[in-house]
Amino acid sequence: MKNKISIMGCLTVLLLSCGGSGDSNEGSTISSNDNSSSRWTIDTDFIQDGGPGKDGIPSLDQPSFQSIEETNFMFASDLIVALKIGDQVKGYPHKILNWHEVVNDSIADEHFVLSYCPLTGSAMAWNIDNQTGNTEFGVSGLLYNSNLILYDRATDSHWPQMLMKSANGALSGNSATPKPIVETTWEKFKMMFPQAEVLSEDTGFSRNYDEYPYGNYLTNPRLLFVVKNVEDERLHKKARILGIRVGSATKAYNISEFSIDLEVINDSVSSKKVVIVGSQDDKYAVAFERQLSDGTVLEFSPEYNQLPIVMADNEGNLWDIYGKAVTGPREGEQLVVPFSYISFWFAWAAFFTDAPIYQ
């Protein structure tokens, strides 16, 4: 039987779990969902019970997909997460991820978990392998700095999403291996990947995927849960940024400050040479290392109106939005993706305090 939940019921659960509203929200402390057999490696003052409980937000473990032509529930500006393996692309709409947060999936026999935390605006995918317990993941019901904590179904270890690392349980200390993703609008997704498959609304659960479950959260600066460093207001709390971390060094790039069509930034984070590619209108941002394995440091420039090709380098190569050379002497080479992803500003500032903002 399909599970049913109303929007108002979901909001009520959130408000009750918060114990109030606003940045001073105290919220619930760690519940019985925590793994008491192991110490947490993160500050437990900022771990809270999100309300619905373990698996109260159901992961999608047998996701179904459809063609772009069959997809009629998306609008041009709706956001979607694109994951590509080989020549196959799958798209995961925010509209569905807002309600499920975790999708266990595979492409070409490569198994991964793709997650999206609507409270922190962060999407990522990582490998299912020995490091992550060779198992599926679910929603623990706990939050750290308002961010989704996943749990693996083999050891019940807890994985704060934005750390990409287990912080509690038998796998504590293990780091996940990320898979590159691109988060963009439905309009650009269709243009770049016309043969892609799209996560279907036929999930086995009764949800109104046309409704956003958190009211005016995306534009309101108020938060639902307590977070570190909440006083850092250099940007609007819900500004979408691309954050990069290299060792202990970090930097944030405000997507709303990018060029409307396409911007390519040759930059450095600590000693790491990086290139950032993004678009204000198309709402995407990705990062790659510029120094290749042979020691060459490339300089990049934008390539307009050629999506999914987004940049050229000083050697004459053209590179796509996933950092792969599609023409030129380095055709077929793949740029390394540093620790990076899009999130809301308040969340990046909570996890990585005093992060410089690219100007």
Predicted model pTM:
0.91
Q: Is residue 217 one of the residues assigned to a domain?
A: no
- At residue 13, the pLDDT reads 39
248 with 323, same domain: the answer is yes
246 with 122, same domain: the answer is no
Backbone angles phi, psi at 147, to 5 degrees: -100, 140
199 with 247, same domain: the answer is no
334 with 289, same domain: the answer is yes
Q: Is residue 174 one of the residues assigned to a domain?
A: yes
24 exposure class (CB count in 10 Å sphere: 0-12, 13-18, 19+)? exposed
256 with 301, same domain: the answer is yes
Q: Which of 161, 186, 206 is the last residue of a domain?
A: 206
136 with 68, same domain: the answer is yes
| Half-sphere exposure (Cβ direction) of 149: Cα atoms closer than 13 Å | 30
198 with 272, same domain: the answer is no
Q: Is residue 196 one of the residues assigned to a domain?
A: yes
Q: Is residue 228 one of the residues assigned to a domain?
A: no
| CB 82, CB 74: distance < 8 Å | no
Distance, in Å, from the CA atom of 53 to the CA atom of 143, rounded to the nearest integer, reads: 11
Secondary structure (3-state) at 181: strand
Distance, in Å, from the CA atom of 336 to the CA atom of 18, rounded to the nearest integer, reads: 40
34 with 142, same domain: the answer is yes
- At residue 93, the pLDDT reads 98
| Half-sphere exposure (Cβ direction) of 205: Cα atoms closer than 13 Å | 18
Lookup: tokens for 189: 């997704």
pLDDT in tens, 248-278: 999 999 999 999 999 999 999 999 999 999 9
- Containing structural domain, residue 339: 240-351
- At residue 29, the pLDDT reads 55
23 with 94, same domain: the answer is yes
Q: Which of 164, 184, 206 is the last residue of a domain?
A: 206
54 with 178, same domain: the answer is yes
199 with 245, same domain: the answer is no
Q: Which of 206, 231, 260 is the last residue of a domain?
A: 206
Q: Is residue 277 one of the residues assigned to a domain?
A: yes
- At residue 32, the pLDDT reads 37
What's the total number of domains in the chain? 2
Residue type, 267: D
Q: Is residue 269 one of the residues assigned to a domain?
A: yes
Q: Is residue 284 one of the residues assigned to a domain?
A: yes
136 with 258, same domain: the answer is no
Answer left, alpha or beta for residue 356, where phi above 0 means left and psi between -120 and 50 means alpha.
beta
For the chain (359 residues), the mean pLDDT of every run of 10, in chain order, is: 38 36 45 58 96 97 98 98 97 98 97 98 98 98 98 98 98 97 98 98 96 96 96 97 97 98 98 97 98 97 97 98 98 97 98 95
